[in-house]
Amino acid sequence: MSLELVDIAIRVTLVIATGILFSIVFLAYLRLKNRKLLFLSVGFGVFFAHALIYVPQIFGPAYTISENAHLLIHLVALTFILLSTLKD
């Protein structure tokens, strides 16, 4: 029972952390309006959306997605973040 509680706490904490990180980067994009911050905010936005989608798995097995889908989501987000660092 305590392991489930720790799992819930970790997932909720990760959602909060990615939400804060996404909001900081997105607010920076709104202030500066450049393509580099756009790509960076899209990448962190994908991570934030993935974290929000992943939380309902603790409430039931109906929301499970495969490991390949997780890897694809991470690949898309990291691609946008990579594009933002390469953009000069």
Contact 47, 18 (CB under 8 A): yes
The predicted-structure confidence for 26-63, as pLDDT tens digits, reads as follows: 999 999 999 999 999 999 999 999 888 877 666 566 66
Question: What rounded mean pLDDT belongs to the chain?
Answer: 88
Per-residue DSSP letters for 11-66?
Answer: HHHHHHHHHHHHHHHHHHHHHH--HHHHHHHHHHHHHHHHHHHHGGGGT-GGG---
Of 71 and 53, the one with more pLDDT: 71
- The whole-number average pLDDT for the span 71-86 is 95
Residue 64 confidence class, pLDDT cut points 50, 70, 90: confident
